Structure 1
Amino acid sequence: MIDDWATRRTYRWCDWSLADLMAAKAATKVSLVMPARNEAATVGEQVTRIRAALVDTVELLDEIVVIDSDSTDDTASIASDAGAVVHRAADIRPDLGWRSGKGEAMWKSQFVTSGDVIVFMDADLLEWDTHFVPGLLGPLLTEPDVTLVKGFYERPMLEGPSASSYDGGRVTELVARPLIALLFPELRGLVQPLAGEWAVRRDWFAQLSVPTGYAVELAALIDTLRGPGPDAIAQVDLGRRAHSHQALLDLGAMATQILAAVQARVGLPAEGSVDLQQFVPGTDGVAPRTRSVDTVERPPLASLDPTGESA
């Protein structure tokens, strides 16, 4: 039953002390991966604080890796100066090509990280704390049957004085949660299914097909549900998180990618791109604007032979 799963597999970040996690970590290697595109304003502080708390003070993290997804600002140099190892996504296995997108950066990270567990964190956070990382690691380091951990949090819309604590998740409420209710009700106990803060065992992530855009989080949940099952998924209350928000038309592209990933997982044919027609103000009234939305997925890393071809 859903309620039983949610009760068993929902935690708070403070359920484990750092000492508990260090003892449970033992020889397990942990990588923190931060996909980033034009996040010069925030990435430096995030890397600096995490490194001080979780590398220099205690060695909970073995590496902090920023995957720069074609930034045009100083994201890469700022992250490197703060102590992260920085790779441009386009430079990782260039023989496999490169596609723009968060999921692409996450998929490519498998080639340049060594952790048995990978923690993903967005690089644009404005309200957050370093406990996000140990909170996500808690179930993976202490529960051998947990494979994937999602963070959840209050996620306010920073614009407007009367917004609810959860109004920041517009695509979650308008797209992801209805899809889950209709097609994957076993996942409806997840508070933030699209959360950018999550963690996964490397050997399982290598089994997953990865959308190159914004659908990677929901795709990973669906595939985990269908693989090791709902009890392999846990969620952790991380408190409060805030970040910059996308414009409405950009959310339309994100929603299209999520719908395409779900379409592929219910057996419907999927195209490599979708022409999304939207409407914007023009000189003579409303004008159509068509944007091509990339819906390509990268194959599971485990399916590739050493040359990068499908095995």
Structure 2
Amino acid sequence: MNRDQWLAERTFHHSNFWDIKWLVQEKERQGLTISLCLPALNEAATIGKEIVILKSELKDRYPLVDEIVVIDSGSTDATREIAASFGAEVYLAEEQLTECGDRKGKGENLWKALHLLKGDLIVYVDSDINNIHPRFVYGLVGPLIRDPDIHYVKAFYDRPLAFSTGYRPSGGGRVTEILVRPLFSLFYPDLTAIIQPLSGEYAGRRSILEQIPFPVGYGVETAMLIDIYEKMGLSAFAQTDLDTRVHRNQETIALGRMAFGILRTFFNRLTRQQRLQLQEVLPTIMRQHQVDDGNFTLIDYNIEEFERPPIIEIESYMRKFHPDGVPVSS
């Protein structure tokens, strides 16, 4: 499947899947279970609203989602208490898979979620969305339910930049356009067909997610795309237009650290695939300037981008999900 064909056939709008009742019927006919994961860190302002809206429409009214689980990175606000009070299952990431140790980062939460969640289909939705709507879930699982050849679905949307005076109707996706899209154009041209590779909302079949490594930090979304592409090709993907996503935006200096982590993830894969040879190990230190009363200071940030192995390599996961042995590769 070439890029033009893929764009035409595998790019959807959430309205294509508005009939939630049909999705539930088809999900049950196929014997599928669906888990919703909300990775969180200090999201007390938004987590309650997300759970109320998604649970009431997609679990209570229509049983599309079988469980809603919050995986928390160690919030210091009331995120966990609020999430539990509104009916979500809540786990502290550092208390799970303790035999593997603890790493901080969104990717750690997503990886451990595979062990905690029961579903055949896993939906990941960020916890900081101000305009949450059920489409953020049914728009992503719809292609997976409708087409067994689709294994992973990415969201894309308009991303207004939030300012104190309101919202600017364009912008967002800065790291994508400045860094990731140029890198994809150079090394993985098929993946340029994906409109927002760094979007925080996506859904996948357990059968592929359990086979890929998870960087614990900034590189997890990029790594998922590259690793699934290497295993299954472009035809395994789809993408869904979710219209608009409103959330808080990071400052440019924070995006610099994100870009550093993504670059390390890229180089790791290029060297692993023997497409690039480095003469020495890449440093883990990102340096940025801090200015205070005209004085400039270099601040060092250690951004290692540690990677968790495919979770099927973890014994406790295998006992839980594959007690009869290693699953057949997708």
Same fold by TM-score greater than 0.5: yes
> In the alignment, is residue 68 of structure 1 matched against residue 72 of structure 2?
yes
Separation of aligned partners in 1, 2:121 and 2:317: 24
TM-score by length of 1: 0.94
**Which residue in the other structure is 2:3 paired with?**
2
Offset from partner CA, 1:230-283 (integer Å, 9 cap, x none): 000000011110111112222111111111111111015696971111001034
What is the CA–CA distance in structure 2 between the aligned matches of 1:57 and 1:168, rounded to whole Å? 34
Aligned residues: 308
Query: Is the CA contact (8 Å cut-off) linking 1:146 and 1:232 kept in structure 2?
Result: yes
Say which is worse superposed, 196-205 or 18-27, in terms of deviation.
Answer: 18-27
Partners of 2:225 and 2:13 in 1: CA distance: 20
| Alpha carbons of structure 1 residues 249 and 144: separation in structure 2 relative to 1, 3 Å | same
1:299 matched residue in structure 2 = 309
> Contact between 2:153 and 2:204, CA under 8 Å: does it hold in 1?
yes
Match of 1:276 among 277, 280, 286: 286
Instruction: Find the counterpart in structure 1 of residue 27 from structure 2.
Output: 25
Q: 1:227 to 1:169 in 2, by over 3 A?
A: same
Confirm or deny that 1:192 pairs with 2:196. Answer: yes
User: What is the Cα deviation at residue 178 of structure 1?
Assistant: 1.3
Q: State how far apart, in whole Å, the 2-side matches of 1:223 and 1:15 are.
A: 28
Instruction: Tell me how far apart the structure 2 counterparts of residues 51 and 161 of structure 1 sit (CA, whole Å).
Output: 29
Q: Distance in 1 between matches of 2:310 and 2:236?
A: 19
Superposition deviation, residue 128 in structure 1: 3.0
Equivalent in the alignment of 1:90: 94
Question: 1:128·1:240 contact (CA, 8 Å) conserved in 2?
Answer: no
Q: Which runs of 5+ in 2 are unaligned?
A: 272-276, 319-325
Q: Is the 8 A contact 1:271 1:295 kept in 2?
A: no
* 1:263 aligns with one of 248, 267, 282: 267
Name the CA distance, whole Å, in 1 between partners of 2:264 and 2:236.
24
CA deviation vs aligned residue, 1:162-195 (integer Å, no higher than 9, x gap): 8452x11111111111111111110111111011
- Partners of 2:281 and 2:22 in 1: CA distance: 47
Is the CA contact (8 Å cut-off) linking 1:272 and 1:295 kept in structure 2? no
Amino acid across the alignment from 1:18 = I
Q: Secondary structure at the match of 2:266?
A: helix
Unaligned 5+ residue runs, structure 1?
A: none
User: What residue in structure 2 maps to residue 290 of structure 1?
Assistant: 300
Per the normalisation by structure 2, the TM-score is: 0.89
Is the CA contact 2:311–2:317 (under 8 Å) kept in the aligned structure 1?
no
Report what 1:183 is aligned to: 187
Conserved 8 A contact 2:13-2:139: yes
Distance 2:152 2:67 in 1: 19
2:46 matched to which residue of 1? 42
SS class of match (2:4):
helix
Asked if 1 retains the 8 angstrom alpha-carbon contact of 2:41 and 2:73, the reply is: yes
| Bigger mean CA deviation after superposition, 256-265 or 268-277 | 268-277
Distance 1:36 1:304 in 2: 24
Q: Equivalent of 2:216, from 212, 218, 221?
A: 212
Across the aligned residues of Structure 1 and Structure 2, the Cα RMSD in angstroms comes to 1.9
Flag as ranges the 4+ runs of structure 1 deviating above 6 A: 269-273
Give the structure 2 partner of residue 100 of structure 1. 104
How does 1:85-164 map onto structure 2 within 5 Å? 85-159=89-163, 163-164=168-169
Provide the identity percentage: 38
Alpha-carbon distance in 2 for matches of 1:60, 1:273: 45
Deviates more, 1:82-91 or 1:296-305: 296-305
Partner of 2:323: none
**Matches of 1:31 and 1:271 in 2, distance apart?**
39
Q: Which amino acid aligns with 1:274?
A: T
Aligned equivalents of 1:35, 1:273: Cα separation in 2: 28
Between the aligned partners of 2:20 and 2:63, the Cα distance in structure 1 is 10
Distance 1:212 1:12 in 2: 30
The alpha-carbon deviation at position 21 of structure 1 amounts to 0.7
Code of the residue aligned with 1:14 in structure 2: it is S
